[in-house]
Structure 1
Amino acid sequence: MNRATTVLLVHGAWHGSWCWDPVASILRERGFDVRTVDLPTVHHPNRAELGLADDAAAVADAIAAIDGPVTVVAHSYGGVPTTQGAGDPRVRHIVFIAAFVLDEGESLLASVGGVAPDWWQVDGALTTAGSDAQPPQSLFFGDLDTQTADSTSQRLQAQATRPFLEEVTMVAWRGRPTTYIVTERDAIFPVFAQEALAARSESAIHRLDTSHSPFLSRPIAVADIIEQAAG
């Protein structure tokens, strides 16, 4: 069965399209056309010079390349360029997964209190995730087996710092149906903060007893919620 809606998957900071592979495979088996985007502030050779506008443009360009209606799914930081870049009227629904749902004039760093978490390792214009005390295995992948968490952590890349500091200038979620997946065992994003952001967009809320990365630990459950949102 071919679905009418295309699903666009937007990864978070330090990640890449690879993190969506299990969910994308399930959705394709269910008849969806699935696209992904690699955000340039993680993947471009000159990423240290890039910012939020570049990531938002990548999201907007990916949407523009799709014929027909689109459901955009954004994880964590990916919610920020999605908020700014997914304003195309063909975007019928946005699914946020433990994501930042920011309003106009807000930045990611300001939304977490204006001080970078101690596990952000900032080296000039680039930021890496994790420290000796808080390794990425426990931050992102706490409900994966040790071997998978280790191998997945090795795929994380340095991220440009600029987009964390820059303010959102357009808001795609306002006036548009949204869904928010709250990750209840998240070592990064407190549940109360996720709930507060979900309330902004009056999202339909789903809860998963997972770490920050349910697309890897519970891909069927995530695919089920996306399928429901995509109609």
Structure 2
Amino acid sequence: MADGVSRPTLLLVHGAWHGAWCWKKLRSVLEADGWRTRAIDLPSAGGRAGMHDDAQTVLGELELIDGPVVVVAHSYGGIPVSQAAAEAAGNVSHIVYLAALQLDVGESLLGFVGAPVPPEPRDFEPAPNDPIAMFYGDVPRPEAEEAVKRLVPQSTKSFSDVLTQAAWHTVPSTYIVCEDDQALPAQSQQLLASRSGAVHRVESSHSPFMSKPEELAALLAKIALESDA
């Protein structure tokens, strides 16, 4: 088993409308177990940046990390991670898609969900009308309400930008299906998961890093250690 020095670093990449703050509970559990973690804020959350700008942010963070990296991408975050890890200098040892959009070259978020690009697209997409039901169904209510206050508008461009590279074709990947997800239904996740080398399931809403951080941390540790074997 890898020790605390040789273990890969876990880079956590959030989804739409969120920020690095959403990983706080999970990072606490992982770091208490000796894991090094990093989390970034994607510029499309609260700004007009597109998916490729997000990918450059991920790539810039990867370049700052010494040694192997396991990237954990949540939801929309799977798209810029797939783009960025394909351009990285080889330190990404594994990608974990957590209820994430594991898209292929030529695909976009809007295209995957079957939504056309509006003729006059807005600059921003507001958070869903009922974010607690959508994202935090099994999160304690007070905590979910606090999370809702931190959500920001998401750049519309990030939803329409198309992948030009997809790292999972060359980098090993694992998909984690969240079975009670109301944001990305489990059936859609299962379709995406067929692109990964391995699939795990958790009985959770869209945000197990908040509702089941211990269970998720244990699963991520298992995946990361196996990737480093």
Distance 1:199 1:66 in 2: 29
Alignment: residue pair count: 218
Report the counterpart of residue 212 of structure 1 in structure 2.
206
Other structure's SS at 1:41 match: coil
Q: 2:170 aligns with which of 159, 171, 175?
A: 175
Tell me if 1:38 matches 2:26: no
Q: CA deviation at 1:101?
A: 0.4
Distance 1:219 1:2 in 2: 23
Gaps of at least 5 residues in structure 2 are none
Tell me if 1:141 matches 2:136: yes
Q: Is the 8 A contact 2:9 2:70 kept in 1?
A: yes
Tell me if 1:161 matches 2:159: no
Q: CA deviation at 1:201?
A: 2.6
1:180-191 correspondence runs (5 A): 180-191=175-186
Tell me if 1:29 matches 2:32: yes
Distance 1:170 1:83 in 2: 7
Distance 1:115-1:123 versus aligned 2 partners, 3 A rule: closer
Q: What TM-score, normalized to structure 1?
A: 0.90
Distance 2:173 2:218 in 1: 15
Q: CA deviation at 1:32?
A: 1.5
Q: Is the 8 A contact 1:3 1:32 kept in 2?
A: no
Of the structure 1 ranges 1-10 and 71-80, higher mean CA displacement relative to structure 2 is found in: 1-10
Gaps of at least 5 residues in structure 1 are 117-121
Q: CA deviation at 1:124?
A: 2.2
Task: Give RMSD over aligned pairs.
Answer: 1.6
1:99-129 superposed Cα distances (whole Å, 9 cap, x missing partner): 000100111100001258xxxxx98201111
Distance 1:191-1:115 versus aligned 2 partners, 3 A rule: farther
Report the counterpart of residue 103 of structure 1 in structure 2.
104
1:158-216 superposed Cα distances (whole Å, 9 cap, x missing partner): 111101001001111112221111111111111111011010133x1111111100100
Distance 1:178 1:228 in 2: 13
Report the counterpart of residue 65 of structure 2 in structure 1.
66
Q: CA deviation at 1:222?
A: 1.0
Distance 1:61 1:151 in 2: 30
1:93-132 correspondence runs (5 A): 93-115=94-116, 124-131=122-129
Q: Which amino acid aligns with 2:44?
A: T
1:132-154 superposed Cα distances (whole Å, 9 cap, x missing partner): xxx10110001112222111111
Q: CA deviation at 1:218?
A: 0.5
Q: Which amino acid aligns with 1:13?
A: A
Instruction: Indicate the percent of aligned positions where both proteins have the same amino acid.
Output: 44
Other structure's SS at 1:74 match: strand
